[in-house]
Amino acid sequence: MAYSDKVIDHYSNPKNVGTLDKASKSVGTGLVGAPECGDVMRLQIQVDEATGIITDAKFKTFGCGSAIASSSLATEWLKGKSVDEAVKIDNMDLVEELNLPPVKIHCSVLAEDAIKSAINDYRVKNGLAELVFEEKGVH
């Protein structure tokens, strides 16, 4: 299976690889996936508490090229968005942008899960209730 140019580009030059201070109150961390499934994503957001805007986003991913590209693209999209906007990022937007084939859609689902998990982590740290999301199905 050949990868799309956009996947190859994100894989070769991943954006926002790194680590934010997970103990900080202004940082939300999402760790999703499992080693036995062959992919683990950690996505982190830094939120400006006054404005609710995501000022920085970082990721680290163990997985195939599509998983790396999905998380790299997700961090790009997160920066500058408000937390409320970020919740709306849909895995199918990632699929479309990266031209992921059907067998790689689970990588985009994982990235969406990572975003939501990071947001919830941030919310809980700041005394807000966890958002409940509907299941995206098996991936």
Question: Which positions lie near other proteins, rule CB under 8 A?
Answer: 3, 8, 11, 14, 17, 19, 31-42, 60-68, 102-107, 110, 138-139
CB nearer to other proteins: pick between 18 and 49: 18
CB nearer to other proteins: pick between 52 and 65: 65
In the complex, the smallest distance separating the C-beta of residue 82 from other proteins, rounded to whole angstroms, is 26
Of 20, 98, 107, 114, catalytic: 107
- Look up 107 and say whether it is catalytic: yes
Q: Residues 66, 39: contact at Cβ < 8 Å?
A: no
Long-range contacts of 34-41 (CB under 8 A, 24+ apart): 35/62, 38/63, 38/64, 39/63, 39/64, 39/67, 39/107, 39/110, 41/67, 41/71, 41/110, 41/111, 41/113, 41/114
- Please tell me the distance from the alpha carbon of residue 88 to that of residue 108, in angstroms, as a whole number: 14
In the complex, the smallest distance separating the C-beta of residue 12 from other proteins, rounded to whole angstroms, is 8
CB nearer to other proteins: pick between 16 and 53: 16
Q: Residues 23, 16: contact at Cβ < 8 Å?
A: no
In the complex, the smallest distance separating the C-beta of residue 135 from other proteins, rounded to whole angstroms, is 10
- Look up 64 and say whether it is catalytic: no
Residues annotated as catalytic are 37, 107
